[in-house]
């Protein structure tokens, strides 16, 4: 039997042989070895310490606070790992501390055991308010066993930027989404083989452009793509927006720059929409993978990670979305994906020719 106290211990093992720990500086070498096996062949104890120090220095919940991270150790060797993203929340007119749980990983030869459960159990014990985005049923059951409530799948919205290429290469059966009709994959394959998909794509491109022009107009806003956002400007935008939001992740200037800025090779681009010199909306676009997404036959999908605007200023939001589409095209994306749940944003996306797709990412 395993319990999480100062660290979780298992079975007849000696107290220090098997434990779940909140990572400290002394665990840097064990983490570096784990990272080399799983993600980064060049990881070292020094890079682990440096990255943790950098994250702590700009932690939006408190400068200098380490970002909670947990490891399952056996004889000093890391077999499993989970970390968090600090995520201050706005609810009921006040700010609250919270974290996203992310990056749960167990070495393949040690799966189908208690390691994942014990890691999450220890994380929950430390975190207080915790949230997660989960896709597969098995992890959802694991989170549910630890008290997380499944609030359902976030709806996906997809703006196809290059319809002909998408229709030629898309494989519906690999999307892993619920609600796709059983006949659709076969019909699409037939269209691809016959050449109909390319012709249909050309027609679709024209139709989507016309629809977004007529229904999603956003004239009167100046768009630009700054390398970084001005924290004071974003603070003022967030203060205007938050009063109309019963609950939301805080998106002030420091949080936005911490989450998406300050990287030499950052995978994000900012879009700013201004009117009369005032910042009216901000969007953040995650770059597509350089080689495309192997799950989508190599299609390049950018992600609309953030759109910040006052809910009462829908045209500002529309302008930011239009700017995000342009940025995604410039990055070579075939499509732009947005998982939006707030009605103010969800209502704008269809007007910019985003198609609603079945969701597969559950908010817990």
Q: pLDDT tens digit string along 299-324?
A: 889 999 999 999 989 999 999 999 99
- CA-based nearest residue to 144, from 136, 19, 11: 136
Beta-carbon contacts of residue 283 (< 8 Å; ≥ 6 apart) = 270, 271, 273, 304, 306, 307, 308, 320, 321, 323, 324, 327
State mean pLDDT over 85-96.
90
Average pLDDT over residues 138-153: 91
pLDDT for the residue numbered 355: 86
CATH class of 155-363: alpha beta
Name the percent of the chain lying above pLDDT 90: 52
Task: Give the residue-averaged pLDDT of 152-168.
Answer: 81
Identify the architecture of domain 3-145 in CATH: 3-Layer(aba) Sandwich (3.40)
What is the rounded (10 degree) CA torsion for 58, 84, 255, 349? 150
pTM to 2 decimals?
0.78
Mean pLDDT across the stretch 345-354? 91
Neighbours of 49 (CB within 10 A): 15
Cα–Cα dist 38/35, whole Å: 5
Q: Do domains 3-145 and 155-363 have the same CATH topology?
A: yes
N-to-C CA span, the chain: 27
Contacts 24+ apart (CB under 8 A), 90-93: 90/242, 90/245, 90/247, 90/248, 90/249, 90/250, 91/246, 91/247, 91/248, 92/246, 92/247
Mean pLDDT of the chain: 83
The closest of 16, 15, 12 to 30, measured between CA atoms, is: 16
Name 266's Cβ contacts closer than 8 Å, sequence gap at least 6. Answer: 260
Q: What is the pLDDT of residues 185-234, one digit of tens each?
A: 554 455 544 555 555 555 555 566 666 766 767 778 999 998 888 889 99
**Statement: residue 51 has pLDDT above 50:** yes
pLDDT at 154: 87
pLDDT digit string (tens) for 252-264?
Answer: 888 888 888 754 5
What does the pLDDT read at residue 119? Answer: 96
Spell out the domain ranges in the chain: 3-145, 155-363
Mode of pairing for the β-strands spanning 335-339 and 130-131: unpaired
pLDDT per position as a tens digit, 1-49: 233 334 444 443 344 588 999 999 999 999 999 999 999 999 999 999 9
pLDDT for 342? 85
In the predicted structure, residue 170 carries a pLDDT above the cut 60: yes
* Residue 180 binned pLDDT confidence (cut-offs 50, 70, 90): low
CA distance 266 to 263: 5
Asked if residue 174 has pLDDT above 80, the reply is: no
């Amino acid at each position: 039997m395993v319990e999480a106290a100062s660290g979780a211990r298992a079975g007849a093992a000696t107290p220090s042989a098997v434990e779940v720990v909140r990572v400290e500086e002394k665990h840097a070498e064990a983490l570096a070895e784990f990272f080399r096996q799983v993600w980064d062949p060049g990881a070292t104890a020094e890079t682990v310490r440096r990255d943790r120090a950098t994250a702590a220095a700009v932690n939006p919940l408190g400068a200098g606070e380490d970002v909670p991270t947990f490891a399952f150790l056996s004889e000093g060797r890391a077999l499993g790992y989970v970390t968090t993203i600090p995520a201050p929340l706005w609810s009921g007119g006040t700010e609250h501390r919270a974290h996203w749980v992310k990056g749960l990983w167990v070495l393949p030869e040690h799966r189908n055991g208690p390691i994942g459960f014990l890691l999450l159990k220890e994380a929950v014990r430390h975190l207080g308010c915790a949230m997660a985005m989960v896709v597969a049923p098995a992890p959802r059951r694991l989170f549910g066993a630890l008290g997380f409530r499944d609030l359902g799948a976030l709806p996906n919205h997809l703006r196809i930027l290059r319809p002909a290429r998408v229709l030629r290469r898309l494989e519906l059966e690999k999307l892993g989404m619920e609600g796709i009709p059983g006949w659709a994959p076969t019909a699409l394959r037939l269209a691809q083989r016959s050449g109909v998909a390319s012709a249909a794509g050309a027609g679709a491109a024209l139709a989507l452009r016309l629809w977004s022009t007529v229904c999603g107009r956003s004239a009167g806003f100046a768009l630009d793509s700054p390398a970084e956002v001005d924290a004071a400007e974003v603070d003022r935008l967030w203060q205007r927006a938050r009063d109309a939001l019963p609950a939301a992740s805080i998106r002030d200037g420091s949080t936005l720059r911490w989450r998406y800025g300050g990287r030499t090779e950052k995978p994000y681009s900012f879009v700013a929409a201004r009117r009369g010199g005032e910042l009216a909306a901000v969007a953040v676009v995650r770059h597509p993978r350089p080689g495309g997404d192997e799950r989508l036959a190599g299609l390049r999908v950018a992600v609309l990670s953030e759109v910040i605007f006052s809910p009462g200023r829908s045209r500002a939001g529309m302008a930011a979305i239009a700017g995000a589409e342009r940025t995604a095209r410039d990055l070579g994306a075939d499509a732009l994906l947005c998982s939006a749940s707030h009605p103010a944003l969800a209502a704008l996306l269809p007007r910019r020719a985003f198609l609603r797709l079945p969701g597969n990412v559950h908010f817990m």
